[in-house]
Structure 1
Amino acid sequence: MKILIVDDEKLLVKGMKFNFEQEGYQVETAYDGEEALRQARDKNLDIIILDLMLPKLDGLSVCQKIREFSNIPIVMLTAKTEDMDKILGLEYGADDYITKPFNILELKARVKAIMRRITPIAPKGDRTRVRIGAVELDYNQRKVTIDGKTTDLTSKEFDLMDLLVTNPGRVYSRDNLLDLIWGYDYPGDARTVDVHIRRLREKIEPNAAEPKYLLTKWGAGYYFNEI
């Protein structure tokens, strides 16, 4: 697995690089946003750890630009504790975030969890595709096709679609979804789910303001409407 670590704190990068190499990762590094974007375009990467505050091009802009050409998993690092910074990171396409200072063991666990989810090993009882109503999930490419239109999804978006689509009509609360998709020890809040549902609706619904697939049961949660 090849990982790109992006941060302008060189000692921190050195420490992360050492720890991930000990886990068997091939590690690339960058110290500013422009270099990070270049490597994301030019190199065959598996995951990116991306700091929010970077010289030349900030982490949010880098994340947004990467999402224009790639769905590679991105974990955002932030020294800020304001919820808005975390929500913005998710809005711009990050899969996860972790706040500095952090425990390297937690960061490695987050990365491993993401990589496990996106590794296509015998999905759904050896099926590589599942079709429910008008929606088809491709587990190898981690894409969704609705009425003949194929859409790329980030790893968390695909995991959410997989859970909801394969359990049509079942209502999941935001806490349920946090537990099932992000893990029981995930430190984020329920707005993380709202952000991902909103992004999914923008991608797959004919009209995100009036969704027909990903519906809300007010006071209860979200569910997939099989059409």
Structure 2
Amino acid sequence: MTRVLVVEDDAQLVRALEINLRARKYGVDAAPDGATALRLAAARQPDAIVLDLGLPDMDGIDVLKTLRGWSRVPVLVLSARSASDEKVAALNAGADDYVTKPFSMDELLARLRASVRRRGATSLDADNSVITTQDFTVDLAAKKVTRGGHDVRLTPTEWHLLEILVCNPRRLITQRQLLDEVWGASQSGKTNYLRVYMAQLRRKLEADPSHPRYLITEPGMGYRFEG
């Protein structure tokens, strides 16, 4: 079943989208604000996201930018903002399509289907979804890590951290971004969480955890993966 995350604070519109999507055999999750949307996107791994830009806690553009730090899920913006510069800003931030309110439900659903099809056509094949280092292998499709021919048992939180980092090789991922994506915006100051879990990952994956080769700390800023 294709799963769609609807990010919208208008309860009536959410209800209308839920009815129409479920009638067409989509699974639906709904988020009324940006923080909830990011948590659900990480936890539920939707096949597509319908995103309003005018959210009560943060701008939808910021949701897009954060999401694009670790996910390539198709995002269809659904917004009352109709100015061309608003559309350009959303597309530059990583939106796949843009529909203005008021809108035709049939058009929205057609654009959603097209976005999901495009994603299917460009998805990573099995070979490209495997990241191999000299010490361990990460299989993104199977959500599995092996080291020395043996499976490495990771907790869901450890896997989520590792997945974000390996999907963005050599790119600095800030402490704030990791905390927002894995624990939610309410925990964005708890940098001790990151230290604890990164230490656990290093013990499981690095040959010398005290001098990591792959999971690198950028002091005061964040972390990056050196493949």
Q: TM-score, normalised by structure 1?
A: 0.53
Matched, 1:140 2:125: yes
Matched, 1:72 2:66: no
1:4 aligns with 5
How far does residue 138 in structure 1 lie from its aligned partner after superposition?
Answer: 7.4
1:166 aligns with none
How far does residue 110 in structure 1 lie from its aligned partner after superposition?
Answer: 0.2
- The letter of the residue matching 2:93 is Y
Q: Supply the distance in 2 between the matched residues of 1:102 and 1:27 (Cα, whole angstroms).
A: 19
1:173-211 deviations in whole A, cap 9, x for unaligned?
xxxxxxxxxxxxxxxxxxxxxxxxxxxxxxxxxxxxxxx
* Change over 3 Å in CA distance of 1:138–1:32 after alignment to 2: closer
- The letter of the residue matching 1:31 is P
1:95 aligns with 96
Q: Supply the distance in 2 between the matched residues of 1:88 and 1:71 (Cα, whole angstroms).
A: 17
Q: Supply the distance in 1 between the matched residues of 2:78 and 2:24 (Cα, whole angstroms).
A: 20
Q: Supply the distance in 2 between the matched residues of 1:100 and 1:119 (Cα, whole angstroms).
A: 27
Q: Supply the distance in 2 between the matched residues of 1:14 and 1:88 (Cα, whole angstroms).
A: 28
Matched-pair contact (CA < 8 Å) for 2:9–2:32: yes
Q: Percent identity?
A: 38
- The letter of the residue matching 1:54 is L
* DSSP-derived class of the 2:30 partner: strand
- The letter of the residue matching 1:40 is A
Uncovered stretches (5+) of structure 1, i.e. residues with no partner: 121-136, 144-227
RMSD (Å), alpha carbons: 2.3
Q: Superposition pairs for residues 24-173 of structure 1, below 5 Å?
A: 24-120=25-121, 140=125
Q: Supply the distance in 1 between the matched residues of 2:10 and 2:123 (Cα, whole angstroms).
A: 39
- The letter of the residue matching 1:42 is A
1:135-155 deviations in whole A, cap 9, x for unaligned?
xx97637x7xxxxxxxxxxxx
- The letter of the residue matching 1:60 is I
Q: Supply the distance in 2 between the matched residues of 1:60 and 1:7 (Cα, whole angstroms).
A: 13
* DSSP-derived class of the 2:94 partner: coil
* DSSP-derived class of the 1:119 partner: helix
Q: TM-score, normalised by structure 2?
A: 0.53
Q: Supply the distance in 2 between the matched residues of 1:111 and 1:3 (Cα, whole angstroms).
A: 9
How far does residue 73 in structure 1 lie from its aligned partner after superposition?
Answer: 0.4
Uncovered stretches (5+) of structure 2, i.e. residues with no partner: 129-227
How far does residue 40 in structure 1 lie from its aligned partner after superposition?
Answer: 1.1
How far does residue 119 in structure 1 lie from its aligned partner after superposition?
Answer: 2.0
1:14 aligns with 15
How many residues in Structure 1 have an aligned counterpart in Structure 2?
Answer: 129
Q: Supply the distance in 2 between the matched residues of 1:5 and 1:139 (Cα, whole angstroms).
A: 25
* DSSP-derived class of the 1:98 partner: strand
